[in-house]
Homo-oligomer: A and B are copies of this chain.
Amino acid sequence: MSDFPTYIGALAADFESHFEGVLPNVTGLESRVIDAMRYAALGGGKRLRPFFVIETAKMLGYEDKGVWDAAAALEAIHVYSLVHDDLPCMDDDDMRRGKPTVHRAYDEATAVLAGDALLTYAFQIMASPKVHPDANVRLELIADLALASGHHGMIGGQMIDLTMDSHPQTQETITRLQDLKTGALIHYGVMAGAKLAGANEAQKTALSTYASHIGLIFQITDDLLDVEGDAQIMGKAAGKDESKGKATFVSILGIEGARKKAHELADEARTQLAPFGDKAAPLLGAIDFVLSRDK
């Protein structure tokens, strides 16, 4: 795939328009919280998780529009996590995707509620027959989404991150943290695409390894960006982890070591896609995209 950034950019634009239609309209005395949900969810982002849902299903020959609803449910979970992680009691960030965070644009209480509402709405979207005609597929997607985003998934990762000082500062700890905090939802995206498309066990195994590696590469490049990145390109503050003295892949492996690790993982991820032939081009492109991203 020669121009992956253009490809994923076009998909992100299509997804934005679909997501806009899936989100609730701003009505009722309770409209402020819906307004905040839409503010948080729309207007930017790479839409990497929707990309993995949609492109994995497509690679396996499945292009039903329900895949886009499943992608919207997953993205709603990702967006809620950003809203809550940005809160003053968490990472205390003022900017996100180049605009004020929800608690800055509204207020803290509205940000908590808008996050709760996006999280709740994700499950409402996923329960709809529009996602997939088979009720058992939808139930599996719901149960897996709760697992991937719950106390032993994304939320658990954020908990470890916040209490990092009390854990051993080892590569094992960082890997576990990132497997949960970032990896779980990316992994879920790939596997949701596979399940919607009815992938066989061998395909699921290969895609699961691919997805785990992508998640780790994503986090290693995040750590590299944190020490090397340009705050203006990233649209958020660089050097935050370093200034907080937090252990990262870079602090443990060094810049060169972290870069080497990311490239090794990328090679292994490519190997997993070989059986899918030419159709794997978008997922292959995603490896280099995540590896060389500058924000």
Interface, chain A (partner B; CB < 8 A): 24, 28-30, 32-34, 37, 80, 84, 87, 89-90, 107-110, 112-113, 115-117, 119-121, 123-124, 127-128, 135-136, 138-139, 142-143, 145-147, 149-152, 155-160, 162-163, 167, 173, 176-177, 180
Q: Which of B89, B121, B145, B158 contacts A108 (CB 8 A)?
A: B89
Q: Say yes or no: B113 contacts A139, CB within 8 Å.
A: no
Task: Find out whether the CB atom of A30 lies under 8 angstroms from the CB atom of B151.
Answer: yes
Please give, as numbers and ranges, the residues of chain B lying within 8 Å of A142 by CB-CB distance.
123-124, 127, 142
Interface contact B30-A117, CB-CB below 8 Å: no
Residue pair A113, B28 in contact (C-beta under 8 Å): no
- Chain B CB within 10 Å — which of A89, A149, A157 has the most? A89
CB A153 to nearest CB in B, in angstroms, measures 8
Contacts of A157 in B (CB 8 A): 30
Q: Given the complex of chains A and B, what is the CA–CA distance between A42 and B24 in angstroms? A: 34
Using known A-B contacts A119-B120, A121-B146, determine if residue A156 contacts B33 with beta carbons closer than 8 Å: yes
Number of copies: 2
- In the bound complex, residues from chain B placing their C-beta under 8 Å from that of A80 are 116
Q: Give Cα A292–Cα B37 distance, bound, in whole angstroms.
A: 39
* Residue ID in chain B nearest A148 by CB atoms: B120
Contacts of A32 in B (CB 8 A): 159, 163
Q: A127-B143, A138-B139, A150-B124 given as contacts; is B33 within 8 A of A113 (CB)? A: no
Measured CA separation A220–B107 after assembly (Å): 29
Complex interface: chain B residues within 8 A of A120 (CB): 119, 146, 149-151, 155
- Residues from chain B with a CB closer than 8 A to the CB of A151 are 24, 30, 33-34, 37, 117, 120-121
Give the CA-CA distance A204 to B126 in the complex, in Å: 25
Inter-chain CA distance A155–B111, complex, in Å, is: 12
